[in-house]
């Protein structure tokens, strides 16, 4: 915990400093939500196919999901999403011809969540 997933359009790959984003995001999550830095895990999932509205091209997206153990206030969750979007702006260069749709959400991990580290 936290489990962070970043879905992003493949055409953004060369413009997206994913490692820098993840490292900055981990630090921000620790400062904002009192998580442990060693517990922060981020995975990136590129996607080739997206459809936005009725258009077939010209769009790209990034969606960040932060899954945390329950107990954070709505204000803390709102701060996390706002700061996450700010970090995206800092680590993602514009790509000519693409309109970027960026979003973030914070959700609580289910009570069934378990983990181990070997």
Question: How confident is the model at residue 1, as a pLDDT?
Answer: 77
pLDDT attached to residue 109: 95
* Among 52, 44, 38, residue whose Cα is nearest residue 1: 38
Q: Which domain holds residue 93?
A: 3-108
Specify the CATH number for the domain of residue 99: 3.30.429.10
Asked if residue 82 belongs to a domain, the reply is yes
Quick one: which of 30, 40, 26, 7 has its CA closest to 76? Answer: 30
Residue 115 lies in a domain: no
Tell me the β-bridge partners of 55. 52
pLDDT band per the 50, 70, 90 thresholds, residue 83 = very high
pLDDT of residue 55: 77
Tell me which residue of 32, 106, 37, 41 sits closest to 68, measured CA to CA. 106
pTM of the model: 0.94
Q: Which two tokens stand for residue 103?
A: 């979003």
Q: Is residue 118, in this structure, part of any structural domain at all?
A: no
Domain tally, the chain? 1
């Amino acid at each position: 915990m936290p489990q962070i997933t970043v879905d992003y359009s493949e055409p953004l790959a060369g413009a997206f400093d994913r490692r820098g984003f993840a490292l900055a995001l981990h630090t921000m999550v620790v400062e904002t939500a009192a998580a442990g830095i060693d517990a922060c895990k981020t995975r990136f999932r590129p996607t080739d196919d997206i459809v936005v509205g009725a258009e077939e091209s010209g769009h790209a997206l990034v969606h960040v999901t932060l899954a945390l153990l329950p107990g954070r206030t709505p204000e803390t969750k709102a701060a996390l999403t706002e700061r996450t979007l700010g970090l995206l702006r800092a680590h993602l260069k514009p790509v000519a011809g693409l309109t970027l749709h960026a979003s973030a959400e914070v959700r609580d991990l289910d009570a069934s969540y378990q983990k181990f580290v070997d």
